[in-house]
């Protein structure tokens, strides 16, 4: 007896990733696949990829209260409590609270100038003219050259450089959203390797397991969070585009506050 693809995908994603995917979402996904000629394992992997790029508020179907946050999770009056169960969430915002605002602006501006920092090395983006000749290069100690057009256009290379240069050690402050749309602020209590600016995209997915909430702040540790990856393209692009302006606005606010 052949396996029903919809049932297989739903069961697989729940068992391996703790994602209670909506049957309507799976049905819509399968309607665009060549199920008859594609191995079921390949279809299932494609389903996971698409699910991690979706909006969890529409692609998941909640069957138990333990799969979402309590509605009052952000209540600062609650000294400490544990959110029992496995809660799938998506990232709406991420902030490096371990680095100064100005250092983060400077990192962005280095990328805008075509520079990428790796340790003590400065990597300058190589620009080429229409004839293919180098028109800009780096100088200084240990400079390396990168062909920005390799594997894509200059904008693609710039995006990769932005991610690498902006990556920071944190700790990080995140805004997370569950499948019902409830939001909570989360802080790294201990470093989580996959969390970082340049590592984690907006719309990226996680599963939280028995996490602690203190005064309305969810505490992230390696033992209670599994980062699944993914991103929501439009949200991620908008966040990256406006990040420098947001940082500068906060610097202005700080300056105004110190002046009064």
pLDDT higher than threshold 50 for residue 210:
yes
Residue 255 reports pLDDT greater than 70: yes
> Domain 65-97+169-259 is of which CATH architecture?
Beta Barrel (2.40)
Backbone CA torsion sign across 237, 97, 103, 246: positive
Helix (H) or strand (E) run with residue 185 in it: strand 183-188
Dig out the tokens for 22 from the structure: 């909506």
Residues 230, 89 contacting (CB under 8 angstroms): no
CA-to-CA distance for 89 and 60, rounded, in angstroms?
10
Under the banding of pLDDT at 50, 70 and 90, the label for residue 144 is very low
Q: Which residue has the higher pLDDT, 131 or 241?
A: 241
- Strand, helix or coil at 147? strand
Q: Is the pLDDT of residue 8 over 60?
A: yes
The pLDDT confidence band at residue 122, using thresholds 50, 70 and 90, is: low
Q: How confident is the model at residue 111 (pLDDT cuts 50, 70, 90)?
A: confident
Chain-centroid distance, C-alpha 254:
27
Residue 196 has pLDDT above 90, yes or no: yes
What are the residue boundaries of the structural domains of the chain, listed by start?
5-59, 65-97+169-259, 102-166
Rg (CA), the chain: 22
Beta bridge partner(s), residue 126? 147
Average pLDDT over residues 166-171: 66
Q: Say yes or no to pLDDT of 118 above 80.
A: no
55-100 pLDDT, tens digit per residue, is 999 999 999 999 999 999 999 999 999 999 999 999 999 999 998 9
Query: How do residues 15-50 score in pLDDT, each as one tens digit?
Result: 999 999 999 999 999 999 998 899 999 999 999 999
């Amino acid at each position: 007896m052949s396996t029903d693809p919809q049932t297989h995908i739903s069961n697989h994603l729940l068992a391996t990733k703790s994602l209670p995917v909506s049957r309507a979402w799976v049905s819509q996904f399968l309607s665009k696949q060549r199920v008859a000629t594609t191995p079921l394992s390949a279809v299932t992997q494609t389903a996971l990829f698409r699910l991690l790029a979706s909006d969890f508020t529409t692609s998941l179907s909640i069957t138990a209260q333990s799969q979402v946050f309590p509605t009052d999770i952000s209540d600062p009056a609650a000294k400490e409590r544990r959110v029992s169960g496995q809660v799938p969430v998506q990232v709406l915002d991420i902030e490096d609270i371990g680095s100064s605002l100005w250092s983060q602006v400077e990192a962005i501006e280095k990328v805008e100038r075509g520079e990428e920092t790796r340790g003590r090395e400065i990597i300058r983006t190589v620009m080429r003219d229409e004839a293919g000749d180098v028109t800009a290069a780096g100088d200084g100690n240990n400079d390396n050259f990168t062909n920005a057009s390799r594997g894509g256009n200059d904008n693609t290379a710039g995006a990769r450089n932005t991610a690498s240069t902006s990556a920071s050690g944190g700790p990080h402050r995140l805004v997370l959203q569950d499948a019902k749309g409830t939001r909570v602020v989360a802080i790294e209590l201990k470093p989580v390797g996959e969390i970082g600016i340049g590592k984690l995209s907006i719309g990226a997915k996680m599963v939280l397991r028995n996490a602690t909430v203190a005064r309305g702040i969810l505490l992230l540790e390696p033992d209670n969070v599994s980062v699944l990856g993914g991103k929501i393209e439009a949200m991620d692009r908008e966040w990256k585009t406006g990040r420098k302006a947001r940082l500068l606005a906060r610097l202005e606010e700080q300056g105004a506050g110190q002046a009064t």
